[in-house]
Structure 1
């Protein structure tokens, strides 16, 4: 198993959830994995990764389980779409699973499919069980003006440790927020007051807020890093964090990280949440939960 494939497994499971890509429990062959495509009605696929992957492409063997007749039809459709996506995207020496999964999601959305909620993007649904959750206005881009204005005092940011890989540097900061307007003003203040942050390649944002009368708000902004905001929001949902926002800043180092970048974005975000006391460190006790 190549180092690139090890990193890809970590990234895929970090982005889409644990057990998205795992060894097949029914096969003795260590090269066969089960990939569960995002979306509650999607298929699980059997993939074979030769020892020389990614120098050679993975083999898409078939579906893992079929279930009812309706699900069998959906599984056959997803299998065909995934095979087509791999054939279009794969390049020798480059891992391809993340791009193939995203391509399948794009094709499903383009075909008008419903139920594939984990599509990322600004405020798009990510499988959140709270069907009544409202989506706030998107965080204003760094070149736009917010009607809320900057706060008069510096937001109470809690920063993660910086993380550098292949010359790209990532750092996250989180802060308590009580409204979408406040969250947007915090972003505006950060960009206006910190020249280095303003000059960064990406400032990826997500927030989740409980409003009055049982309402709630959540939103995200990729800031040019496609699907990254949606992954941050998904991480907050998995950690059950509320009344909190996070901004992950990335300075691009000139070398592509592939899907590994999403694992790094999540890693610094988790570190900020831990330092803010919103969640216990791994092995350090019970989670404290959102505010």
Structure 2
């Protein structure tokens, strides 16, 4: 095992949990990858020259606790494509391949959900009224969104929406309304959310959601803290453009959010630029 592969195995298992990437018992050059979630376990063969040469995804090891054979075959194909996309000679690539696999699986799940939603919308009205516990967010008034200018880099597009909110339930309802009424947003790669609300008796509420873009929600919330934005929420939608942006994506997410805050009058433009320079 090369030092690069040894370090990569340790890093992968520290990020995703012990057992994510382990050496096979029948071949020292083969490792079993069990991606996060309920994905299938897949076999990856690392050539002695790795990372100068790419690894090979050679087959499935299991279909997972709740998986199906068809799902495992699909994940095998996606991981092979992901490795081919992210590999660069001399650079370890398993982390990027896992992230790409996760992104593509989430993307396919989003499109599956859209199809289910469309089927539901075409069902007879009495069926949707049969369950009184189902909330139809599409019937609520349009939230007072203020929308940023699009931020585009390497074909990835980021758009932020912010709105004034007075409670966490209102913020959550605004999110659900947007997802239920805007198909383009619903099938986006990520919808990253954060809000900060002042409650009675000096209480405060703040929360965030990465929506699969690891650490992005926390960074968005941190931006609101730096800009002292209260009683507001923001959703930054990203459509992946086929090129990895690395850490640069966090700056683009915050850029779109900052533009929405300025357009909404939540912060002054000069103050926002000062905060940007300071940080």
Q: TM-score, normalised by structure 2?
A: 0.49
Which is bigger in relative contact order (C-alpha 8 A, separation at least 6)? 1
- Higher helix proportion (structure 1 or 2): 2
Greater CA radius of gyration, 1 or 2? Answer: 2
